[in-house]
Amino acid sequence: MEDPSPRVNFETMQRYHGRKVILCGQITSIENGCVRLQTADKGEVTVTGGSAPYEGRFVEVLGTVSSPNTIQELEHVNLNDNFSLEMFNELVKLSHKDAYIGMFST
């Protein structure tokens, strides 16, 4: 069975080079097939390889970390404008604390 894909922000994404992750962010620009996101912890990430249209302000991306600030998209989900990046960031921080890792990785 494949390992579950962790939810990450910019800081925690750095630990997962070459692995699949789930990242939420606010779309800041779309150019030449690349999407720039501001992450929940205010980092900047480029998403490459997406084919479906991006709609709205917020998106959840499942993809492979290909560099410290780039994700190769496998798929994405457009989120509504009421999505809270702050709450997502709190979830990410909790899910990476040693005391809670087992709860989020099973």
* CATH at 37: 2.40.50.140
Q: Does a structural domain hold residue 103?
A: no
Q: Does a structural domain hold residue 24?
A: yes
Q: Does a structural domain hold residue 1?
A: no
Q: Does a structural domain hold residue 22?
A: yes
Please identify which residue in the block is written with the tokens 């809270």. Answer: 84
What total of structural domains would you count in the chain? 1
Range of the domain at 41: 7-97
Q: What is the pLDDT of residue 106?
A: 41
Predicted TM-score (pTM) of the model is 0.88
CA neighbours within 13 Å on the CB side: how many for 90? 3
**DSSP string across 52-86:** SPP-SSEEEEEEEEEETTEEEEEEEEEE-TT--HH
pLDDT: is 3 or 48 the higher one? Answer: 48
Q: Does a structural domain hold residue 64?
A: yes
Encode pLDDT of 46-75 as tens digits: 999 988 899 999 999 999 999 999 999 999
Q: Does a structural domain hold residue 44?
A: yes
Q: Does a structural domain hold residue 85?
A: yes
- Checking if the pLDDT of 1 tops 60, the result is no
